[in-house]
């Protein structure tokens, strides 16, 4: 199993990161993609992932980080991002994207679009997939992605769109990743969306420390809970959990060009 989105670099794991990784491995998680969300965290992620075979860096600027960053620094940050990504062994650009609530919090949608465009250009130049955050901004996201395309693909992480929104994003070559909400009994929309996605485009993630799956909801999430997400998705699809595990693992290896499992 591959956790395609886990913020294990964050402060929530400061005290016990090593044990969290060990528990994940014991639960069958072979690889974890660690997305950066702000320039201040990039160096730490690169170092963390260099020191641990199963961790893979991705670097980007999360739209929710933009209200705390000076817009005058956006271009410099994007130039720094490309420098950091080059030769860092990173497997993706991101996370980046568009966020309705962040627009209300002070980062205009125009600024968010410009920063996203910068990420997409870097992804094209470095031939890397992108990890996309898209919250209440699906139409704007589609417009940005349709502009120049994504030759190395990408992921709509923690996909929260509807079944109707799947086809246009799938046509762009995107993957769709699911997290803890597929285990929450109340989450009907992601279940219907999951059934509309081609199997070859499905991924799983924990998004830890957030989006904790049932029955741990309310507590901190961790990558060792990924089997619960796989089970939730398998229930939604009406497929055996083993099949969902096998398919999503192969999809993630192909997208992020991860080597086959180490002995």
Binding mask 143-182 for Zn ion (x = CB under 5 A): ----------------------------------------
Cβ nearer to Zn ion, comparing 13 with 237: 13
Cβ nearer to Zn ion, comparing 95 with 99: 95
- Closest-by-Cβ residue to Zn ion is 95
Task: Please report how close the Cβ of residue 95 comes to Zn ion at its closest, in angstroms.
Answer: 5
Residues 91-130 that bind Zn ion (CB under 5 A): 95
Task: Please report how close the Cβ of residue 8 comes to Zn ion at its closest, in angstroms.
Answer: 11
Cβ nearer to Zn ion, comparing 95 with 245: 95
Contacts of 27 (CB under 8 A, 6+ apart): 1, 223, 224, 225, 226, 227
Binding mask 69-98 for Zn ion (x = CB under 5 A): --------------------------x---
Closest-CA residue to 92 (of 134, 141, 45):
45
Task: Please report how close the Cβ of residue 75 comes to Zn ion at its closest, in angstroms.
Answer: 23
| Paired residues of 54 in beta bridges | none
Cβ nearer to Zn ion, comparing 46 with 237: 46
Binding mask 203-242 for Zn ion (x = CB under 5 A): ----------------------------------------
**What is the spatial distance between Cα 228 and Cα 231, in angstroms, rounded to a whole number?**
5
Cβ nearer to Zn ion, comparing 31 with 95: 95
**What is the spatial distance between Cα 208 and Cα 203, in angstroms, rounded to a whole number?**
15
Task: Please report how close the Cβ of residue 37 comes to Zn ion at its closest, in angstroms.
Answer: 7
Task: Please report how close the Cβ of residue 206 comes to Zn ion at its closest, in angstroms.
Answer: 10
Spatial contact of 36 and 8, defined as CB atoms under 8 Å apart = no
Cβ nearer to Zn ion, comparing 1 with 92: 92
Q: Kindly report the backbone phi and psi dihedral angles of residue 27, in degrees, each rounded to the nearest multiple of 5, phi listed first.
A: -85, 0
Task: Please report how close the Cβ of residue 35 comes to Zn ion at its closest, in angstroms.
Answer: 5
Cβ nearer to Zn ion, comparing 10 with 241: 10
Task: Please report how close the Cβ of residue 136 comes to Zn ion at its closest, in angstroms.
Answer: 16
| Number of residues in contact with Zn ion under rule CB under 5 A | 1
Q: Interface residues with Zn ion (CB under 5 A)? A: 95
């Amino acid at each position: 199993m591959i956790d395609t989105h886990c913020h294990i670099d964050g402060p929530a794991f400061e005290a016990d990161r090593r044990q969290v990784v060990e528990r994940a491995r014991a639960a069958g998680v072979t690889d974890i993609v660690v997305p950066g969300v702000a320039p201040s965290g990039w160096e730490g992620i690169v170092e963390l992932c260099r020191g641990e075979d199963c961790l893979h860096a991705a670097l980007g600027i999360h739209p929710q980080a933009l209200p705390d960053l000076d817009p005058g620094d956006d271009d410099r940050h994007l130039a720094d991002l490309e420098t950091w990504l080059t030769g860092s062994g990173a497997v993706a650009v991101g996370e980046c994207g568009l966020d309705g609530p962040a627009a209300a919090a002070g980062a205009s949608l125009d600024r968010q679009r410009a920063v996203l465009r910068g990420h997409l250009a870097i992804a094209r130049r470095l031939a890397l997939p992108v990890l996309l955050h898209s919250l209440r901004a699906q139409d704007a996201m589609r417009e940005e992605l349709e502009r120049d395309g994504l030759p190395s693909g990408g992921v709509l992480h923690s996909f929260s769109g509807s079944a109707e929104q799947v086809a246009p994003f799938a046509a762009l070559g995107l993957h769709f990743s699911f997290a803890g909400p597929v285990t929450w009994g109340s989450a009907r929309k992601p279940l219907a969306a999951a059934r509309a996605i081609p199997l070859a485009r499905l991924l799983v993630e924990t998004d830890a420390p957030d989006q904790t799956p049932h029955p741990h909801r309310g507590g901190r999430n961790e990558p060792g809970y990924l089997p619960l997400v796989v089970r939730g998705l398998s229930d939604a699809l009406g497929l055996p959990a083993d099949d969902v595990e096998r398919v999503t693992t192969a999809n993630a290896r192909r997208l992020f060009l991860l080597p086959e499992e180490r002995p």
